[in-house]
Structure 1
Amino acid sequence: MELQNNKTIAEIRAGLREQIVTVEPADFEPLALSVFRYQAAFNPVYSEYIRHLGIDPAHVAALTEIPFLPIQFFKNHRVATGHSADAPVIFRSSGTTGQATSSHHLYDEPLYKAISYRIFQHNYGDLNRFHILALLPSYLERNNSSLVYMMQHFIEESDSEYSGFYLNNTGEMLQRLRHIAANPDGRGVLLLGVTFALLDLAESSFDLSFLKDIHRLTVMDTGGMKGRRTELLREEVHDILTASLGVPVIHSEYGMTELLSQGYSHGNGLFTPGYSMRILLRDVNDPFAVSDHNLGLSKTGGINVIDLANLDSCSFIETQDLGRFGEKPGTFYVMGRFDNSDIRGCNLMVL
């Protein structure tokens, strides 16, 4: 990308950032192509990857023609656009002993907060309409989790004395929930947790019958067994949780260290990507055969993500997740992971 009308890199970035914050569906593709050309020019890792593929960025004219960077690059490279120094915040993925973990450099905290807030608000309403209780023991044991960072922001924005994190103090959390049930104030409750912690709660000896009395209780599963329990099918997990926690469906969040946008499921494993996010599927046998809708509703493919919030890293990520499209345009299911992929703590269980 040549510098447009003698604009500096910072000026080009500022223009793209302004559009990303307010982008609407009709403007997504042209904006994504502009972000692609910006990152192809000013992201050394991505630029080198494109060069090795023999692709001329100037000839890329559609989303399905954009090269997607394999997510493994985040394990051993600093994937950054327009920045030569380390970021003030660096997110790191979880992993078992001996596993290489991903790093994602966050250069623009206000952008991440604004986008994650807008995505949540579109799905559930304003954060100050909720008491937010985050049951994230494995994430709280680290200090560099993107999920904890986002939930800290959400908890602060909820402005509730009951909102907070819970590590191993389940009794205290239930005491707060009992107080909310007995003293309704019109707010809903978001109980968000890593899968194994929610299962531990559901199968505990605590009396959970009072949960059915909570006004607008939403239970959200972020995925992840962390090797602490036997892997189960998503339906099995959600059947256990709905039976014990007194809710008709289990909501889910689709996110990962390498992405700054989120997708949400309101039940049955069907995800809607955030406004700054688009899901494409690639053929399992040909990673360069990418489709935005024509792969077929029943066919499984590798999930490729366009995440405009990744303006300062790479917005075009080839994940190791498997998925298929939902009937409603833009929606998707997560079906599992490619064989021999590293186990990820933030993905839903295989179907």
Structure 2
Amino acid sequence: MELQNNKLQTEKRQALRKRILSLKPSDFEHLALDIFRYQALNNPVYHHYINNLNINPDQVTRLTDIPFLPVQFFKNHIIKSVGPPGGEPPAASAIFQSSGTTGQQTSQHHLFDETLYKTVSARIFQQNFGDLNQFHILALLPSYLERNNSSLVYMMQHFIDESQSELSGFYLKNVEELLQTLTFLAGNPDGRKVLLLGVTFALLDLAESDHDLSFLRKIKNLTVMDTGGMKGRRQELLREEVHDILTSRLYVDKIHSEYGMTEMLSQGYSHGSGLLVPGFSMRILLRDINDPFAIYDHNITSSKTGGINVIDLANLDSCSFIETQDLGRFGENEGSFYVMGRFDNSDIRGCNLMVI
């Protein structure tokens, strides 16, 4: 009987995985509810959390009825929806760990399906910016490269590989090499786009350096993307202040942004002005600041601020329903959102640390 149950669980997971990869917008809610019921049964931590709330999964029929797991659970538990119930989980392909200040307990996210993560993240990027093999990707991520368990570095390594460009790569503290590459690209355009992606403090350090960066004007297809985060290296600034500095010093019209975190396998992207659009496998809901179980969708006024709840269908093997510590509000376009900051007393961490 146990072997039969395990086989049925595996078949159910494979069917859900296939639906994620072929997902259409009109099917999102139906698939999210099916994944909820699957994880309510097969995720021990989430299962106990739901039970303690006295919620019957069979009676959950809307996205706003789904209980969202507080992101802090990733600090103290292995959040997994794979393996036999009550048994040992299979070995993870990778274990991502969030950033944090010294002494902080950080989150861990166990990755069991590398192909799913790589496929979803690449599809989200390409739907926003175009094919990866049309880019030179220059990743300025010193604080992330100093540790070996960053989900952002993992994703960018995949993007760099997919770009198939000898000029794509990471830059730790070798700004001179980065500038040499950018200078070469300015003088030798080959039709590819150039993505300069960096953590906030590193982009600011580059922009405010003594180097003459006026040559960047010659790169007509340069995209600068900010992943957020001062990492304690610089004073926190408003997003508008950061982007004003970067646009003027890096000679671009706008700064793009990425929204992601260790506990998520999907991403949202902004094409300027801080307005974020979630990927095809992701949806944002907001919760009342004073009542975490009062959840509302995009039909509320865009001026109302609430806690950000994320539905991330790519988290099939962990938990797809996460109550974050970010504050946000909806944009005027359906599905879009802004990150306004973080709740008081929440940890300073992650690539979504941008004060607006």
TM-score above 0.5: yes
On the 8 A contact 1:225/1:345 being kept in 2, the answer is no
CA shift for structure 1 position 88:
2.4
Q: For residue 76 of structure 1, what is the aligned residue in structure 2?
A: 76
On the 8 A contact 2:138/2:197 being kept in 1, the answer is yes
CA shift for structure 1 position 101:
0.2
CA–CA distance in structure 2, aligned partners of residues 49 and 254 of structure 1:
27
On the 8 A contact 1:43/1:81 being kept in 2, the answer is yes
| Counterpart selection for 1:330 from 307, 331, 335 | 335
Q: For residue 190 of structure 2, what is the aligned residue in structure 1?
A: 185
| Counterpart selection for 1:152 from 150, 154, 157 | 157
Q: For residue 23 of structure 1, what is the aligned residue in structure 2?
A: 23
**Larger CA deviation: 152-161 vs 285-294:** 285-294
Q: For residue 144 of structure 2, what is the aligned residue in structure 1?
A: 139
Q: Say whether 1:225 aligns with 2:230.
A: yes
Q: Say whether 1:207 aligns with 2:212.
A: yes
On the 8 A contact 1:263/1:274 being kept in 2, the answer is yes
Q: For residue 64 of structure 1, what is the aligned residue in structure 2?
A: 64
CA shift for structure 1 position 294:
3.1
CA shift for structure 1 position 7:
5.8
| Counterpart selection for 1:258 from 251, 256, 263 | 263
| Counterpart selection for 1:310 from 300, 312, 315 | 315
Q: What amino acid does structure 2 have at the position aligned with 1:14? A: Q
Q: For residue 13 of structure 1, what is the aligned residue in structure 2?
A: 13
SS of the equivalent of 1:313 reads: coil
Give per-residue Cα distances to partners, 1:127-159, cap 9 Å, x unaligned: 011100000000000000000000000000000
Give per-residue Cα distances to partners, 1:87-132, cap 9 Å, x unaligned: 1210000111110100000000000000001000100010011100
Q: Say whether 1:350 aligns with 2:352.
A: no
Q: Please list, as runs of the form range in 1=range in 2, the aligned pairs for 1:237-256 lying within 5 A after superposition.
A: 237-256=242-261
How has the CA–CA distance of structure 1 residues 5 and 257 changed in structure 2, closer, same or farther, with 3 Å as cutoff? closer
Q: Please list, as runs of the form range in 1=range in 2, the aligned pairs for 1:284-323 lying within 5 A after superposition.
A: 284-323=289-328
CA–CA distance in structure 2, aligned partners of residues 154 and 62 of structure 1:
35
Q: Share of identical aligned residues, percent?
A: 74
Q: What amino acid does structure 1 have at the position aligned with 2:329? A: R
Give per-residue Cα distances to partners, 1:206-244, cap 9 Å, x unaligned: 110001110310000000000000000000000000000
On the 8 A contact 2:309/2:322 being kept in 1, the answer is yes
How has the CA–CA distance of structure 1 residues 293 and 4 changed in structure 2, closer, same or farther, with 3 Å as cutoff? farther
Q: For residue 37 of structure 1, what is the aligned residue in structure 2?
A: 37
CA shift for structure 1 position 5:
10
Corresponding pairs, count: 349
Give per-residue Cα distances to partners, 1:39-83, cap 9 Å, x unaligned: 000000000000000000000000000000000000000000023
CA–CA distance in structure 1, aligned partners of residues 22 and 311 of structure 2:
16
Q: For residue 54 of structure 1, what is the aligned residue in structure 2?
A: 54
SS of the equivalent of 1:8 reads: helix
Q: What amino acid does structure 2 have at the position aligned with 1:38? A: Y
RMSD, matched Cα: 1.3
CA shift for structure 1 position 187:
0.4
CA shift for structure 1 position 4:
11
CA shift for structure 1 position 292:
1.0
SS of the equivalent of 1:189 reads: strand
The gaps in structure 2 that reach 5 residues or longer are none
| Counterpart selection for 2:96 from 72, 91, 97 | 91
Give per-residue Cα distances to partners, 1:143-193, cap 9 Å, x unaligned: 000000000000000001110000000010110111111010000100000
4+ long deviations beyond 6 Å: 3-6
Q: What amino acid does structure 2 have at the position aligned with 1:101? A: T
CA shift for structure 1 position 344:
1.7
CA–CA distance in structure 2, aligned partners of residues 170 and 96 of structure 1:
25
On the 8 A contact 1:234/1:350 being kept in 2, the answer is yes
| Counterpart selection for 1:125 from 108, 127, 130 | 130
SS of the equivalent of 1:287 reads: coil
CA shift for structure 1 position 6:
9.6
SS of the equivalent of 2:324 reads: strand
On the 8 A contact 1:115/1:261 being kept in 2, the answer is yes
Q: What amino acid does structure 2 have at the position aligned with 1:244? A: R
